[in-house]
Chain A
Amino acid sequence: GAVVSQHPSWVICKSGTSVKIECRSLDFQATTMFWYRQFPKQSLMLMATSNEGSKATYEQGVEKDKFLINHASLTLSTLTVTSAHPEDSSFYICSASGTSGSGVKNIQYFGAGTRLSVL
């Protein structure tokens, strides 16, 4: 099946610093990647959608300058949380969907998630 790798799985940082989270599709080309945020015991909240080579489309209420998304290749997208604050502490999850030829079109495959703790 399609595999999405997300790194790191857990990161602790000081308030005011920036943190980068990587999301890679290992065995398919991900034309579209998604970034979600999940609070305890709640469902996933879509933050942004990114297509390879294009600027990300952010959901309403998500700060573009705080959550920088880059999707420079068909296998890698990154989320950078800039000037992190304790309220940014959360579980961040990426997902990827591919081209029709790869058989994964219309399906999102998820990474394992990254737990961010901002002190």
Chain B
Amino acid sequence: QKEVEQDPGPLSVPEGAIVSLNCTYSNSAFQYFMWYRQYSRKGPELLMYTYSSGNKEDGRFTAQVDKSSKYISLFIRDSQPSDSATYLCAMKGGNEKLTFGTGTRLTIIP
């Protein structure tokens, strides 16, 4: 079993829809949770960063962390074609290494 599980998709939704992306994990030591967006042939771009459980909102993006269920989510409201990318969840505990999900390929259909 992988430490972090993420549905690779692909996921296609119409423009304007709410997108829900999820990851589950098994390591209780994870405390820092991140979502990155990666466009083709580019480096990952940090979207959201959350420490421990709770919700965090930034514009159209909301990140949720439920440590009791070992489950994290990223919601994108009013999705735009420019949101089409691969979304990577990442998390870490006390050491510096990030553990990534496999990434979900998202396409927003105009």
Which residues of A does B touch, CB under 8 Å?
1, 4, 6, 32, 34, 42-44, 46, 49, 91, 93, 95, 97, 106-113, 115
Contacts and interface: CB of A to CB of B under 8 A. Distances in A.
B102 interface: yes
A110 B43 contact: yes
The number of chain B residues touching the other chain, given as a range, is: 20 to 34
B42 A113 contact: yes
12 contacts: A1-B46, A4-B43, A34-B97, A42-B102, A43-B100, A43-B102, A49-B96, A93-B43, A106-B92, A108-B90, A110-B43, A113-B41
Interface of B: 32, 34, 36, 41-46, 49, 51, 88, 90, 92, 96-98, 100-103
Nearest to A2: B46
Contacts of A34: 96-98
A91 B34 CA distance: 22
A79 B21 CA distance: 33
A110 B102 contact: no
